[in-house]
Structure 1
């Protein structure tokens, strides 16, 4: 299943069952998401912590969620599907009648990027607050418990090497086919068979490297730009 399909399934679940999963919310999401006295309300029915533009705007000291929307619109090319998405939520309308509304929400990484572009006096503190939560989550990661940061970085480069090789094989295949080369069949099937595994590996590595922030990333972590955008050169 692709990332886009996952987001779509989550949106459908949220629309059909707006209250389901609230009682199963992670303890961090329930009680620890308080920034300077502002209690953040994570979106229900999503596996990880996602916050609405409204909550982020309050935390950053903006008078309206439109400020967050403007920041996103101006820099949307820097956000991935794992950082921001639009979901359907049911909210109270006139006479307390439930109405469905499209709402943009942000993961913790997305919140951090919004705060990187924000110019309010508390933006720096909010960024640190978000990073502290991400750091706390990463220490409980089953993958990080098995690999050092250097080993995790090597796995990211292995993902890129696999992606590049699959891409090059796909480019060469038409030439082999025209030449009726004995490897033409293998070169046709390999990139198609392995693409699902490569994409799954990318999603896992993207999740497990979410704690690596751009503010301290060095050249050895340059692979993250490709990993998080799902692209190769």
Structure 2
């Protein structure tokens, strides 16, 4: 697996053979800037009942050392969602930033791409396309961030504000006022006669 970078920490996720991202307790201790892994284990055991099997698991890894033969040990793994839960109850200064990073990582891993509305990119689009982009963003935001229990309702509120602001701007750009040009003669009338 490719290394992931959070702040000045580079972590290669554990390959559990299922193609998903898994972090070890050692990874979490490093990312949360704990001195050792004991703090992560304490947090896990205090909140054990909040974790599902999709959030954490144990695997046995072997160390093929020439001196000691084949040793094996159990390692606890955490999915990005499980890692986020550890980050929620952690009180280190970087925990908040880690939680944000993990939500972005979870969104990428799940294949959900809500996208973003950037004014600079919108100026290159035609009128109807502008409205279509806003509508598509609104639907994705509602689907992935606006459902009960999604845990992303704060982001949904920011999305709604962005949608309102961008819609107002797009309406200003796409609605033009046609000046009053006076009365036009009927098609039957001769314009020269008037």
Residue 151 of structure 2: aligned partner: 213
Q: Summarize deviations over 1:20-44 as a string: whole Å, max 9, x none.
A: xxxxx4xxxx03x111222212111
1:151–1:57 CA distance, 2 compared to 1 (3 A): closer
- Please report the TM-score for the alignment, with normalisation by the length of structure 2: 0.57
Map 1:104-123 → 2, pairs under 5 A: 104-123=76-95
Equivalence for 1:76: 48
Which is helix-richer, 1 or 2? 1
Matched residue, 2:176? none
Q: 2:13 aligns with which of 36, 42, 49?
A: 42
The Cα RMSD (Å) is 3.2
Aligned residue for 1:69, secondary structure, equals helix
Structure 2 distance, partners of 1:215, 1:148, is 13
1:33-182 matched pairs, under 5 angstroms: 33-44=4-15, 45-91=17-63, 95=67, 97-138=69-110, 140-141=111-112, 148=140, 150=142
Count of aligned residue pairs for this structure pair: 131
User: What residue ranges of structure 1 are gaps of 5+ in the alignment?
Assistant: 1-24, 158-208, 219-233
Aligned partners of 1:141, 1:130: CA distance in 2, in Å? 14
1:71-116 CA-partner distances (Å, limit 9, x unpaired): 0000011110000111111236683644111111100000000000
The 1:96/1:65 distance shift into structure 2, 3 A limit, reads: same
Q: For residues 48 and 155 of structure 2, what CA distance do their matches in structure 1 show?
A: 21
Q: Secondary structure at the match of 1:39?
A: strand
Distance 1:151 1:103 in 2: 36
Higher relative contact order (CA 8 A, sep 6+): 1
Question: Secondary structure, in 3 states, of the residue corresponding to 2:67?
Answer: helix
Structure 1 residues 214 and 151: alpha-carbon distance in aligned structure 2, compared to 1, 3 A threshold: closer
Segments of 5+ residues of structure 2 without an aligned counterpart are 114-135, 157-194
Larger radius of gyration: 2
